[in-house]
């Protein structure tokens, strides 16, 4: 497991060859970062080494009063278009790392995605 924050975007590609699954975390409480996050997601999805790597997009911080719902985030990201054009399977979940909401679903996704053949 590697955490690569947004400011590390320029070096993300150096980790792609080792990637079996990708968790892309978006701050759902920060509308000013939506366009930047979307651009980063599109960049990741278009990387050749990740063409078949399963992706879980996590809309995090749903515990905050100003969070945008999954419906709003999907609309802002144009997720329907992204999913239809992507070569890899994409799943989306809402989470709160603070209170644990959705984390069981994340673990379930990881278990199913990384299961032994």
Closest CA to 69 of 93, 91, 37, 33: 93
Helix (H) or strand (E) holding 55: strand 55-60
- Using the predicted structure, report yes or no on whether residue 102 has a pLDDT greater than 70: yes
pLDDT tier for residue 15 given thresholds of 50, 70 and 90 = confident
Over residues 40-73, the pLDDT tens digits come to 899 899 999 999 999 999 999 999 988 888 888 8
For 18-41, write each residue's pLDDT tens digit. 889 999 999 899 888 888 888 889
Is 61 within any annotated ligand binding site? yes
Q: Judge: domain 6-114, CATH 3.40.50.300.
A: yes
User: Residue 5 pLDDT > 70, yes or no?
Assistant: no
Burial class (CB in 10 A: 0-12, 13-18, 19+), 111: exposed
- Tokens matching residue 28: 């759902």
Q: Where are the domains of the chain?
A: 6-114
Count the helices and strands in the chain (H runs, E runs).
4, 3
What's the confidence (pLDDT) of residue 35? 84
Predicted model pTM: 0.87
Known binding residue 99? Answer is no
Residue 82 assigned to a binding site = no
What average pLDDT does the structure give for the chain?
88
8 Å CB contact between 102 and 95: yes
Tell whether 62 is in a known binding site.
yes
Asked if 97 contacts 57 with a C-beta cutoff of 8 angstroms, the reply is no
Classify residue 88 by burial, with Cβ atoms within 10 Å: 0-12, 13-18, 19+.
Answer: middle
Portion of the chain with pLDDT greater than 70, in percent: 91
């Amino acid at each position: 497991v590697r955490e690569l924050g947004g400011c590390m975007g320029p070096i993300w590609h150096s980790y792609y060859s080792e990637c079996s699954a990708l968790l892309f975390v978006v701050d759902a409480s920060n509308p000013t970062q939506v366009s930047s996050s979307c651009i980063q997601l599109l960049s990741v999805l278009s990387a050749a080494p990740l063409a078949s790597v399963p992706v879980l997009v996590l809309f995090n911080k749903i515990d905050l009063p100003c969070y945008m719902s999954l419906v709003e985030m999907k609309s802002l990201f144009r997720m329907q278009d992204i999913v239809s054009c992507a070569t890899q399977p994409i799943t989306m979940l809402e989470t709160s790392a603070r209170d644990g909401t959705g984390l069981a679903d994340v673990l379930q996704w990881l278990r199913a995605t990384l299961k032994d053949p």
